[in-house]
Structures are given as structure tokens and as C-alpha cells.
A and B are shown apart, each in its own frame.
Chain A
Amino acid sequence: MKNKKNGIQSQTSMLSLLGNKTLGRIKNAVEFYLFSTTILLRTFLFGRLKKASLKVLFRQIMFTGYDALPVIGFIALGTSALTILELNQLVGPLGEGPLAFELLVVIVIRQLSIFFTAFVLIARSGTAISTELGNMTVNKEIDLLYSFGISPFEYLVIPRILGLVVALCTLILYFNFFALVGGFVFYNLVYSKIGLQEFLLQVISQLSLSDFILPIIKAVLLGFSIGLISCYHGLKVQTASTEVPQRTIKTVVYSVVAVIVMNIVVTILSYMF
């Protein structure tokens, strides 16, 4: 009888734990939705940033965009080189010609450029933003801004998100440029020699209008999502510095999920319309 009572009690506590966790997740989702709506409205409806916020925006572009150029260039060279090498490994001399150019466009320029650039952005800037805002919250620097009458949304969040969007757009272009350089070099190493002009003409013949429009749409959506997630988790830190790395991990996980899901959704939509 006692055992049965204990069993019912443990089941009840399990259910209440599960219920609390579910409620907690719903609460977090609602909070994130409200946070995102506020930021979107403030960014697009009340547009004009103050001079002080523009300075933050400029710094964010420099850190996220300019400072990431070497690593993006290196990844782009490596990606296109590996694509050509794997193609040669897979189909041998059959890969020479249109198939190589098509693979460079479809795999590297259309998909991997966005994936890799977004992942570098998450690893460098998403974590940096989340950590920085988390530390600022712990050190009461956010309260300090409130005391000055400075909105942390306007001064900290919006410039950072816009910085990520601008940086992602330019980094994707930069990635594609280096991917083409790598593709050209390794095509010449693996297959028969081809001139730069002919190589470019072959690549361009594989491109469609959507290859110019889609990266921009994806960059804006992904930049915004990574920025929102990073800022949200940074500002969710409350009192202890131990919360900062926990929130940073959440930033990375949620941002990666967002990048993959959004990329797939936008790609499917692009094929449908």
C-alpha cells in the first residue's frame, strides 16, 4: 500500500516537473517572440539611429565583417579546392567541363557560402555578443544605461543586429570571390589548363538570377536571426557570471538550428516559386 502511494507520488512529481519544464519553454518562446517583435518594430518603424548607436554599428561591422575576412577567405579557398578534388576522385576526367562549374555554383556558391559564413559569424560574433551583453548585465552596465536614459535596445541590440546583417551580406560576396579563385586554381591543377576569362564565362553560364537574389535574402534573414538570438541570450543573463557561458552555448545551438532550418525553408520556397 505504502509502495503504491510512493509510486503515485513520484509519478505526480515527474508530471509536475515535466509540466514546469514545458511551461518554462512556452514562457521562453513567448519572451523571445516579444523581444523579436520589439526589435523588428524599432528597427523598421522607428528607424533613425542616434550618432552614438551608429558608432556601435560601425564597430560591429568592423569586428564581424572586416576582422573575419582572412578566415572566410581561407575557408572559401579550401571549400572550392575540396569540391574539385572530390569531383575528380568521384568521376575522374568526366568531371572536367560543365559538371565542375555546375558543382561550384550549386554546392559552393549557392549553399556552402551561406552555411560557412553564417557558422563563422555564429562562432565569432554570436558568441562575442552574447558574452559581452551577459557580462554587461552581470556588471549592472545595462542598469547604468537605463539610468542615463539610454535604451539598451537602441544602443546595444539594434546596431549589433544590423552590423551582423551588413557583415553577412558582404562576407558572402567575399566568400564567393575566394571560392572562385580557389576553384580556378584547383581546376587548372586537376584538369586541363583553362584561362581565367573562360573559367568565369563558364561559371556565369551556370548562374541564374536567383543566385544573386537568394543570398541577399538569406543573409538578411540569417544575420537578423543570429543577432536576435545572441542579444536575447546575452540579456537573459541575470546575476551570476556562471550564467554567461551557459547562455553562450544556447546562443550557438539555437543559432545553428535557425541557420539550418531557415536555409532549408528559403531554398524550398525558392524552388516552389
Chain B
Amino acid sequence: MENIDQNILMDIRHLQMTFDNIEISSDSNFSIQKQKGYLITGPYDSANVRLLSILGGIFPPEPAPGCKCNILYKGTDLYTSKEKTIKEIKKHIAFIFCEGAMISNLSIIENLLLPVSYHFPNYDRTLVLDKIKDDLKYLNIPDILDKRPAEISFYDRKKLSFIRAALMNPELVLVDKPFFNLDDYDRDKTVLYLDKLKKNGSTLIIVSHYLSIIKPLIDEKIILEKGNLVFQKLTGLNEESNEL
């Protein structure tokens, strides 16, 4: 039984991935610490999103023959563990997809409640509904809970995916391009919303090209370049030079 650092949420060992014929690998191990903010960035957008999916347990990494790559969440492998264990881990991971993905044949309220009702069948519905109503007001979304995803605007769908993620009180929030197609007002609101999540104990991993907007949330940058990963800690407030 290996000792697990209590501050470490994820350990990524010998990461290897291939995307659109671009190979990215890291011989060194790296870790994701609790309650920190990480920015995944780099010139290959698809690769950035693929790394986010690998860290979230959706797509397995692709190690070369003979190599072993492990994505450990609090010491448990996200891909090789038993299904029950993985399911237990995923209760604590929330995804915010670029296009605010939703199940098209469920209503908005059913979409919002789906992860909570699946993982926590005995949840307090009134409490959750109150939280949803508060967040709708905060993110300036009209009362559209009974509509289907196709009936609402892209902006609202995107903002609703933030609310859905927050309902799970996640330990890890993975965000793919949080500001895609949002206007300035909504951008500021979503940064504050993500900041609130971080302050409540969530770790954030964000794929974005807008470092200047999300800088308050970010502690470290993970830059995906052809062939390898580069890590940059953000220490000062004025780090314009780091912006890609």
C-alpha cells in the first residue's frame, strides 16, 4: 500500500497519448493538487480536450507497447479499477463541456438532476431545487426548467452545465472552454461561479485560451506541445508573458 499525499487529488504517471497523429508523452510523473486551479493549453486544441477527457476517465490513455500509464485518483486507477470503484470516484468528478452537452430527450430539470438522482437516489429534492433556482437567478437564466435542450439558447445550455456540475459538490471540475460563445457579462459571472466552486473545495482543470480572464482561478499551466508537456506555475499576478 503506497503512501498517498493528502494534498494530492490525482497522480498521472508516464502519460502517453496520441491524437491526430500527434504523440504527446511525459516521462516524468505529475500530480493534480486539491483545491488548485490548472489550465491546460497549447496549440493543439483537440489534444487539450483529449487530455481533459483522459483525466476525467472518459478516454483511456494510449501507452506504447511495454509502457504503463496510470491515471490515479486518490491512489485508485481511473481505468483499470473495478467498475464499482470507478463509479464511486466519478461521483466526485464533474464535467462542463464546451457546448453545454445535454441529453436531448430529457427536460432541462431532468438533465440537471440526472447525475445527482443517479448517484444519490435519496437526495433532498427541495434543497437541490432551491439551489438550482438560486443559481438560475445568479447566472441570469430564465425559467426554462420544463423545456427540452433544443428549445433553449446555446448560452443558457452552456450556463446550465455549470449548475449541473455544481450540484454534485464535486472534488474535481473539468471544464472545456468555459467562455466559448459567452459574452463579457456572462464570462465574468462564470469566472465568479467557478471561483466559488474552488473556494468550496473543488479542484479546477480548465481548457482555455483566455488566461487573462481566468487567471484568478489558475495556479499552474499545463502546456501541451508536440512531443511533451510543459508545466508552468503561475505565482505573480502580472504574468502577461505567460499568455498564449
Contact = CB atoms under 8 A, between A and B. Distances in A.
A2 interface: no
A144 B83 contact: no
Interface centre among A52, A136, A140, A149 (most CB of B within 10 A): A149
A143 B99 CA distance: 13
Contacts of A139: 101, 104
Nearest to B91: A149
B90 A148 contact: yes
A132 B103 CA distance: 11
Contacts of A143: 58, 101
Contacts of A147: 56-58, 90, 93, 95, 97
Contact of A141 (B104, B117, B119): B104
B233 interface: no
B103 A136 contact: yes
A141 B102 CA distance: 7
A51 interface: yes
A155 B118 contact: yes
A129 to B, nearest CB: 12
A151 interface: yes
Contact of A50 (B91, B101, B121): B121
Contacts of A151: 83, 87
B115 interface: yes
Given A146-B58, A147-B56, A147-B58, A141 B103 contact: yes
B3 interface: no
B126 interface: no
B95 A149 contact: no
Given A50-B121, A52-B121, A150 B115 contact: yes
Contacts of A150: 114-115, 118
A130 interface: no
A151 B88 CA distance: 12
Contacts of B58: 143, 146-147
A149 B89 contact: yes
B24 interface: no
Contacts of B95: 144, 147-148
Contacts of B117: 51-52
B105 interface: yes
Interface in B115-156: 115, 117-119, 121
Given A52-B114, A143-B58, A149 B119 contact: yes
A51 B121 contact: yes
A141 B149 CA distance: 12
A141 B87 contact: no
A135 interface: yes
Q: DSSP class of A's interface residues: helix, strand, loop or mixed? A: helix
B86 interface: yes
A149 B86 contact: yes
Contacts of B86: 149
Interface centre among B93, B102, B115 (most CB of A within 10 A): B115
A148 B111 CA distance: 11
B121 A144 contact: no
A52 B114 CA distance: 7
B180 to A, nearest CB: 15
Given A52-B121, A147-B56, A140 B114 contact: no
Contacts of B90: 147-149
A237 to B, nearest CB: 15
Contacts of B97: 144, 147
A16 to B, nearest CB: 27
Interface string B32-60: 00000000000000000000000011100
A132 B105 contact: yes
A141 B91 contact: no
A136 B57 CA distance: 19
Contact of B115 (A135, A136, A148): A148
Given A149-B86, A149-B87, A149-B89, A144 B103 contact: yes
Nearest to A54: B121
A136 B105 CA distance: 9
B175 to A, nearest CB: 12
12 contacts: A50-B118, A50-B121, A140-B101, A141-B101, A145-B103, A147-B56, A147-B57, A148-B90, A148-B95, A148-B118, A149-B57, A149-B91
Which 8 A/B pairs are nearest by Cβ-Cβ distance? A149-B90, A147-B95, A148-B115, A51-B121, A52-B118, A144-B101, A52-B117, A149-B87
Given A144-B102, A147-B56, A148-B119, 8 more contacts: A52-B114, A52-B118, A135-B104, A146-B57, A146-B58, A147-B97, A149-B87, A151-B87
